[in-house]
Amino acid sequence: MPAKIPKSDRGNRVHQENTSSPFRPQLCRDRRTSAGRPLNHDGFLATTFVRPGLPLIGWMAAALVGGIVLGSAVPSAPLLFLGTGPACLFAANVSRRQRRHRGCFVCVLAAIVLLGAARWQLHQAPSARESLKDICGDGPVPLTLTGHITSVPCLHSRPSSKNAPRIFGTARQSRFLVSTQSVMTSSGERNAGGNLQVYVEGDATATLHKGDEVMLTGRWNWPFAPGNPGEFDYARFLNRRQISGLLFVNHPAAIRVVVSCSKWSAGYWVSELRKEAHSVLVTALPEHVRGIALALLLGNRNQLPSETADAFIASGTMHLLAISGLHVGILCAFLLSIFHLLIVRRGRALLLTAAVCVIYAMITDLRPSVLRATVFFVVLVVAQFVRRNQGIISLLSITAIIMVTAQPHLVFDTGAWLSFLSVAALGWVSGRAVSEIEEQDVPADALSAAEKLHDAFQALWTRLKLRWRQMLSILALTTPLVAATFHVVSPAGILVNVLLIPLTGLTLCVGFVLLAAGMLHPSLALIVGPGFSWLLTTMTQIVEATSSVHMSHVYVADIPDWFLMIYYILLPLILLLRWRPLKRIAVLCLYCSILAAFTSATQRDSPHELRCTVLDVGHGSAAVLEFPSGEVILVDGGAMNRGERAADTICRFLWHRGCRSLNAILISHADADHYNAVSGVLSRMPVSEILTSRDFVTSKSTSVQSVIQLADAAGTPMRILSTGDSAQIGKSFVHCLQRDWWQLPKMPTTMKNQ
């Protein structure tokens, strides 16, 4: 019978490891000490955040990002920046020779800032070829052009929401980028440059591959400047990514492949793998989970119903659907575990895992978060091979320098910032937890059953506390940016993510097995498919239940621009400062800035007179009435075939005006372009009541009844107005002149203030 070891001696256990295993814990080599520490299951992040302060490479990454921001804010003069940068480096060398280390440090950072500004301005410099915007002007122009496909062609199945049904256009749409070479005009063929985002009605992915030279006939267009306050600037978004237009093609037959790419090229095989993976998921899974599977494994969120997407956003779990660093991290851990079971040497396992991650990133079309995680893992693998123990900040900084140098527009990408902030939070918490984790070095045979059970519960509790602290740190780092971008704060996400991340990890592993099995043989996918479908259904039910809980999420108005800058300057200072009085001052300033931002976002300035704002929603109707007494009424809300986008436009305007609720929504009649955005507004902000006619509530339209059911579920009463009726809304009155308002040449209602 094994002897029991007293609890007081457990802290002195000697670590036992199998030195013959290729996956034995590796020792972190640090030049400051000869001691080493084993890498635990939390990965390399947990072992590397040991140096206080910000390393030199971190300052360099911050300077490069600041230089890109500077280059976007000042007039274009790249030659000036390129000429001044070497001068700063020369000054840094002089300071180094004179042993003025601070001066050398400042000069090096200044040189990096100037080079970053030059990199951005060169990135945004016009091409030598004529731009399509110069050829086509501003409006929609039909044209024929030739170019090369520069992204993996992806098929998107756009669902028709029951609240905003599709009126025209096909449900299936193909999307890809084209680098333009020439364009046919009435005066003949002209050389043209620039990248185009192409939208093809129907499935055009069967015969197209990345790298093909194609000829397309369609309608070129360029988005207008924002037509409403608070609206997303899509034209600026495209400009930063060097996309010079949108091309809408009505049918795949309007595309002709001039020169096919080589079957030995990477673009051909990546396109084929993408199509094969899409086919496996469509064939093996039922329709109700197909959209979630495509979003989870391939990053295709366009097939998600709007109701499901809203549930994930409201519960604070949208990052589980968006292809992100979490997915790549789970893939790496899954592959390394398999290689460990197969007794593959550690070096080969790391190289094979990195190769699979690179292929996966290319299949998912190099999304910023996936690209960040892939570059991060590749840098980590290189560091392991050269036996350099890099901290989490150093690894993230090297990754940021590589990515920002290659794609400077990522500095302005919210997804990329959220990805980096989340990994930084995970690494910081895991690094602090390293010294708190007790090594379990006593052989299991030396423990009694009660001690084994106690240790198992203790390990589970320690892991839960670690996950909880990770979620809190991620929340602290990302909430202001999420609130400023998406206008939502999800307190429930702290709890549900702790439960869902392990479930998501299991679901992703089963999904990866499904893809691999389906690519080997279609019949194997049918075996794994039911289990994957059940996991997806369970995850969706948890998310929907969480989003339906009262106060699980809160939509907020616009956050002041100054707050983000102050918040993300003060927070690192609080973490890095050692002098306690100065740290307390920084904490006090942080609390004051949060209070000021919250006060600014919750207070709304009422107009001194009745204000009516007719919103630009395209072919539709939406108007906002603001009364001097503070009431806000939405008159109609909808757009032809763009109900969800119209709802986003309406809500962004209201948030921009400081409104977080509506006193009433007035729906004039049951035409879709007058009400198909109401459901989206109801799901994002509280509405006191809905005013409408009897014809609307008695309509047999499925979408109308869906709006009524959603209003009932939200507790929003509906009031029917007839000719001559009046309704009091707060201190204001609405008087209905004519129920069938389209029969009159005047406004349907009159509003007056009491």
**Per-residue model confidence as pLDDT tens digits over 567-593:** 988 888 887 777 888 888 988 999 999
Distance between CA 437 and CA 445 in Å, rounded? 21
Pull the structure tokens for residue 327. 């997915």
| Rg (alpha carbons) of the chain, rounded to whole number | 29
- At 495-509, the pLDDT tens digits run 787 778 788 888 889
**What's the rounded mean pLDDT across residues 463-490?**
81
Query: What is the reported pLDDT for 114?
Result: 93
pLDDT band at 742 (very low <50, low <70, confident <90, very high): very low
Amino acid at 140: P
Residue 159 CA from chain centroid, whole number: 20
First to last CA, the chain: 89
Whether 214 has a pLDDT exceeding 90, the answer reads yes
CATH architecture of 137-261: Beta Barrel (2.40)
Whether 273 has a pLDDT exceeding 70, the answer reads yes
Residue showing tokens 């939502």: 488
The answer to whether 429 and 469 have CB atoms below 8 angstroms apart is: yes
For domain 611-753, give its CATH number from 3.40.50.10420, 3.90.470.20, 3.60.15.10, 3.40.1160.10. Answer: 3.60.15.10
Residue showing tokens 């001052």: 585
Q: What is the pTM of this model?
A: 0.76
CA atoms within 13 A on the CB side of 661: 11
Residue 394 CA from chain centroid, whole number: 24
What are the backbone angles phi and psi of residue 617, rounded to the nearest 5°?
-120, 15
Whether 624 has a pLDDT exceeding 90, the answer reads yes
Query: What is the reported pLDDT for 739?
Result: 58
Query: What is the reported pLDDT for 482?
Result: 83
pLDDT band at 685 (very low <50, low <70, confident <90, very high): confident
Q: Phi/psi zone of residue 35: left (φ > 0), alpha (ψ -120 to 50 degrees), beta?
A: beta
Distance between CA 519 and CA 280 in Å, rounded? 7
Distance between CA 304 and CA 232 in Å, rounded? 21
Q: Phi/psi zone of residue 498: left (φ > 0), alpha (ψ -120 to 50 degrees), beta?
A: alpha
- Of 498 and 398, which is predicted with more confidence? 398
What are the backbone angles phi and psi of residue 411, rounded to the nearest 5°?
-60, -30
**What's the rounded mean pLDDT across residues 286-299?**
83
pLDDT band at 47 (very low <50, low <70, confident <90, very high): very low
Residue 634 CA from chain centroid, whole number: 30
What are the backbone angles phi and psi of residue 325, rounded to the nearest 5°?
-65, -30
% of residues, the chain, pLDDT over 90: 12
**What's the rounded mean pLDDT across residues 390-404?**
85
Distance between CA 575 and CA 687 in Å, rounded? 42
**DSSP conformation letters of 592-629:** HHHHHHHHHHH-----SS-EEEE---SSEEEEEEE-TT
The residue extents of the domains of the chain are 22-46+319-434, 56-123, 137-261, 263-316+496-556, 562-602, 611-753
Residue showing tokens 């985002």: 197
Amino acid at 613: T
Distance between CA 424 and CA 422 in Å, rounded? 5
Q: 400 forms bridges with which residues in the sheet?
A: none
Helix axis angle for 56-73 and 101-123, nearest 10°, is 40
**What's the rounded mean pLDDT across residues 156-169?**
60
- Of 6 and 467, which is predicted with more confidence? 467
Pull the structure tokens for residue 164. 């905003």
- CA torsion sign, 15 to 16 to 20 to 24? negative
- At 302-318, the pLDDT tens digits run 777 777 777 787 777 77
Whether 187 has a pLDDT exceeding 80, the answer reads no
Which residue, 489, 494, 715, 688, is CA-closest to 602?
A: 489
Whether 206 has a pLDDT exceeding 50, the answer reads yes
pLDDT band at 225 (very low <50, low <70, confident <90, very high): confident
Distance between CA 79 and CA 404 in Å, rounded? 20
pLDDT band at 28 (very low <50, low <70, confident <90, very high): very low
- CA torsion sign, 51 to 56 to 60 to 62? positive
Pull the structure tokens for residue 295. 């979003």
The answer to whether 647 and 679 have CB atoms below 8 angstroms apart is: yes
